[in-house]
Each structure stands twice: as C-alpha cells, then as structure tokens.
Amino acid sequence: MTAGRWWETFFDDDYVTVWSAAGSFEHTAEDADGIERLLQGAPGNQILDVACGFGRIAGQLHQRGYRVTGIDLSADQLRLAGQRNPGPTYLHRDMREPPAGPYDAVLNVYSSFGYFAHRSDDIAALHAWYAVLRPGGVLLMDLFHRDAVAHAFGSDDAVIERGPTRETGVTDWVAGHRTATITYGDISKTFRVRLYTATELVGELATAGFSAVDVYGDLHGTTRLSPATRLVIRATR
C-alpha cells in the first residue's frame, strides 16, 4: 500500500470498531428515513450504494422493499455486509467502475468521496455514476465539506472527542486535503481526504450532465447548508 492508496486497507474490522465507539452508526434507521424522503421522485426502486461498507444503509433499504446493489473495494466490509445485512447484492468493485445498471438512484453517503490521490479520479467517479443512472435517476451524496472542516478544525491543534475516541489532524488548505487520525484505546486509524466545497461539487455535477442539483445540510433535506452542517446533494440526471 502507498500513502495515496490508504483506502485499500483502511476499512477493516478495526474501522467498524472505532467508528461504532464514536457513535457514528447509531442513527442508521433515521438516516435511511431521510434517504427515502430525498429519493422521492426517482423513477423506480433499483439502487446502487457506492462504497456500501458493511451494508448498514443497503440493508435498511432492502428491508423497505428496494432492490439494492452495494459495491465496495474492501473485502472486509463486504464480508461483514453479508453477515450483518444480508439481502442486497454485494459486489467487489471500484467506485469509478460501477456495474452497468441502469439504476434509479445512486447513493454515496457518509463521506465516501475524495479518497483518490488525484482529483481527476474523483470526477471520473461522478461521470461513471451519471452513466449508470436512468433518465430522471437521482444521485444522493452526503459528505463532510471543506467549510465544515474549517469550522470544526480551524487550527491544527484542534481535537474532537466523540465518546471514547479522539480525532486529531492536519489540513493542507492549499492542496485541499485533510489527514486525520482517530484513536480508540490501542487502535489508531489514519485517513486522508480531499476537501470539496458545495460550489465545486455542484459545478462538477453540472459538468457531468446532471440537470438539477439541490443542496441541503442534512439527510432529511430540512436543514440549510452551513459551515456547521454536513453537505447533502441531490442531483437528477
């Protein structure tokens, strides 16, 4: 593994342990409720969950009657998905090369974007998701945006504690990357993410061909975007 490909080994059992300890997965049912609301108007119920992880959202939507295909590059996460959230079809795939579909919706949630060493690869993923959507299909993205990082981690000595976990990191404001480490007991996990503003992503989605792009501050579509919120985008092909 190289530093630029940290994501190839990052998402193992320890990842689930640490993020569970931080309380990151406690609101899965509520997240699925919000996703359902934002998917209203999609042409059908065939969903592609990109970077599905251990299937926490895919499993919820499957239980609600959606036909879900989840893709992930982590064999560990796909193993856990089959064990914890059976029902959806899980495939070992790169997000830049999704299965052909067509799909009525593509989901990319919980900050599963901006991992690649080169920005062009992130943008290639957006174009690939557009290509596998039906006309009228919906892309739903949920991520931590650059303004929110500035709000929460304005200085490199900032520390965020979530339950028994502790996050520290360094942000390169010129290159637009954040490298962060989360610790929990004797487990330490380090990741590196490219930071996007809402303005940048809305522009890239328009370039990819999406005809309508709406922006929110939460997965329920009820909060306005601000530096204190997450970035949720609903884009229609």
pLDDT digits (tens, 9 = 90+) for 202-221: 999 999 999 999 999 999 99
Residue 163, in any domain of the structure:
no
Looking at the predicted structure, is the pLDDT value of residue 132 above 50? yes
Residue 108, in any domain of the structure:
yes
Residue 213, in any domain of the structure:
yes
Looking at the predicted structure, is the pLDDT value of residue 12 above 50? yes
Contact partners, residue 46, CB within 8 Å, separation at least 6: 66, 67, 69, 101, 102, 103, 104, 105
Q: What are phi and psi of 197, to 5 degrees?
A: -90, 165
What is d(CA 74, CA 78) in angstroms, rounded to the nearest whole number?
6
Residue 8, in any domain of the structure:
yes
Residue 187, in any domain of the structure:
no
Number of domains within the chain = 1
| % residues pLDDT > 90 (the chain) | 95
> What pLDDT score does 154 carry?
81
Overall average pLDDT of the 114-140 stretch: 97
The DSSP element (H or E) to which 149 belongs, if any, is helix 146-152
Residue 209, in any domain of the structure:
yes
Residue 191, in any domain of the structure:
no
Mean pLDDT of the chain: 96
Contact partners, residue 174, CB within 8 Å, separation at least 6: none
Its domain, for residue 111, covers: 3-144+197-236
Residue 224, in any domain of the structure:
yes
Confidence class for position 1, pLDDT limits 50, 70, 90 = very low
Looking at the predicted structure, is the pLDDT value of residue 2 above 60? no
Overall average pLDDT of the 105-132 stretch: 97
CATH number at residue 33: 3.40.50.150
What is d(CA 35, CA 82) in angstroms, rounded to the nearest whole number?
22
* pTM: predicted TM-score of the whole model, two decimal places: 0.95
